[in-house]
Amino acid sequence: MKKLIAILLTVGLFAAVPGSASAGGRGGYSGRVGYYGHGGHGAGEFFAGLLGGAVLGTILSHSYGPVYAPPPRVYYAPPPEQVWVPGRYESRYVRQWVPGHWEVERYSGYEEDEDDGYSRDRRVWVPGRYEEVPARVWLPGHWEERG
């Protein structure tokens, strides 16, 4: 791609110099001051050709291999800070098993409005179950990473 751009620039440089395409039209006198067959720009055309040839020669003779940039630097984050957290008590709810048991249920008659002073008892079985009970739990000390 660089070679193509350099060649196009050189051709454009030759085209930009007046009189470089033809020396006086049909090879005769161009009406300007100068020798027969020359447009009076001989030194300018010569140096343009010399410069263009030097640019093209340099570009065509040096065919460099691809150039690669160095790999990017690797960033290593600092290791996280380790902090000792001491042990402590904490209040939590724990599941505790309550075994099944018999309860005595007292009631008086069928109608709530009547109270004759007599009450009847009945035994009822309450099955076992888990209950959430508040308890203090010890959390041992440990290391934590912070950062």
Write out pLDDT tens, residues 45-62: 777 777 777 777 777 666
Contact of 126 with 141, CB cutoff 8 Å:
no
Under the banding of pLDDT at 50, 70 and 90, the label for residue 65 is confident
Which positions ≥6 away from 134 have C-beta within 8 Å? 91, 92, 93
The total of other beta-carbon atoms located within 10 Å of residue 52's CB is 19
Is the pLDDT assigned to residue 38 strictly greater than 70? no
44 in any annotated domain: yes
Is the pLDDT assigned to residue 37 strictly greater than 60? no
Residue 85 shares a structural domain with residue 137: yes
Mean pLDDT over all residues of the chain?
A: 77
Residue 45 shares a structural domain with residue 95: no
Contact of 48 with 10, CB cutoff 8 Å:
no
| Domain span including residue 18 | 2-61
Average confidence (pLDDT) over 18-26:
51
Residue 137 shares a structural domain with residue 86: yes
| Domain count across the chain | 2
Average confidence (pLDDT) over 110-124:
68
113 in any annotated domain: no
16 in any annotated domain: yes
146 in any annotated domain: no
Using CA atoms, how far apart are residues 22 and 115, in angstroms rounded to an integer? 137
Under the banding of pLDDT at 50, 70 and 90, the label for residue 134 is very high
